[in-house]
Amino acid sequence: MRLVIKPNKGLGKIEVELSGETWAEVERLSERYGVPPERIIEIALVGEFKKPGGDLEELEGKAGELEKKTWELEREYAPLRFRAYGLSEDNKVLAIELSGLLAENSQLRRFLGLKPERNAGLRKLISYYLQG
């Protein structure tokens, strides 16, 4: 792959031939960090690398501790999330049943010659539970 670096001002430019392996690594880094490949190459050439703010081993230890705490919380809240999902699905089923009963009630009122009821609050509640 041929890389051409042009300056912001002036006519000079630099042409560099990159191997396929180097370009593949640049693309991998680009996808991993969500940055265009041109920016990856610019960082490599200019040397804008960030230096760690402290002892690397200490920071890795803290990251490990935080990961353990995260998994403990995940283990604690997973059953609650599962239960909430089950309740949400139950609410959807009940909303569908209520919608059917409202339609049946409306048909019966029409059959008996009574004035139909709008039930705007119930319909709003039904749509709320069917969406989420």
72-125 confidence digits (pLDDT tens): 999 999 999 999 999 999 999 999 999 999 999 999 999 999 998 888 999 999
pLDDT of 49 higher than 70: no
Q: Evaluate if residue 62 carries a pLDDT over 70.
A: yes
Q: Which domain holds residue 95?
A: 56-131
Q: Tell me: do 110 and 63 sit in the same domain.
A: yes
| Residues 42 and 100 placed together within one structural domain of the fold | no
- Domains held by the chain: number: 2
In a shared domain, residues 37 and 90:
no
Q: In the prediction, which pLDDT does 103 show? A: 93
Do 70 and 113 belong together in one domain?
Answer: yes
Confidence at 50, pLDDT banded by 50, 70, 90:
low
Q: What is the pLDDT of residue 42?
A: 77
User: Are 60 and 25 members of one domain?
Assistant: no
Is the same domain home to 70 and 125?
A: yes
In eight-state DSSP terms, residue 19 is: P
Q: Is 4 helix (H, G, I), strand (E, B) or coil?
A: strand
Query: Is residue 89 included in any domain, yes or no?
Result: yes
Tell me what the pLDDT averaged over the chain comes to.
86
Distance of CA 84 to the CA centre of its chain: 20
Residue found by looking up tokens 């004035």 in the block: 115
Q: What is the pTM of this model?
A: 0.48
Instruction: Output the pLDDT for position 124.
Output: 92
Cα separation of the two ends of the chain: 50
Instruction: Dump strand ranges (E) for the chain.
Output: 2-5, 14-17
Residue 17 within a domain: yes
Residues 74 and 111 in one domain: yes
